[in-house]
Amino acid sequence: MTSKLTHTSDPDEHPITYQGIVYPWHCDHMGHMNVMWYTGKFDEATWHFFASVGITAEYLRNKDRGMAAADQHIRYKAELLAGDLIIVRSQWLEVRDKSIRFCHRMYNSNSGILAATCELVGVHTNAKNRRAHEFDKSIIAKVEAALAGE
């Protein structure tokens, strides 16, 4: 499968895949959201994003499939504090036969400031033998349509 890159760079065009709040227990001794919570919120956004193209819990169970994070890069841009409302917007970057590359952008909802970005590569697997496995064609078609802006 040929990889495709998105045609747009406007983050406001990308779907919201997570909305939440920073609770006091998310904050470390320096008073800002600890890195473990960024990872957790990005992970929740990932599952909403996957579901938008058919990679749901039901799909994974019924087809004996899995998803594995193969690469993840988080960039922290601005602090988030207790009480801050946040949103994550997500964007497909590339699809291949057995893997997808995508990114998340986390924003402070009140200020609009970009707080963090996360770029990931996910590998589609056979849950029984734990080896990379080709995506169903319908999933590839949905990601390709999103990449083409359809």
Sheet holding 114-126, edge to edge: 16-21, 85-95, 99-108, 114-126, 65-76
Percent over 90 (pLDDT), the chain: 90
How would CATH label the architecture of 11-147?
Answer: Roll (3.10)
Q: Smallest Cα–Cα separation from 31: which of 103, 84, 98, 81?
A: 81
Domain ranges across the chain: 11-147
Q: What is the mean pLDDT of the chain?
A: 92
Confidence of residue 13 (pLDDT cuts 50, 70, 90): confident
Rounded average pLDDT over 5-34? 83
Segment 110-125, tens digit of pLDDT: 999 999 999 999 999 9
pLDDT reported for residue 5: 39
- pTM greater than 0.75: yes
Percent over 70 (pLDDT), the chain: 91
Rounded average pLDDT over 65-81? 97
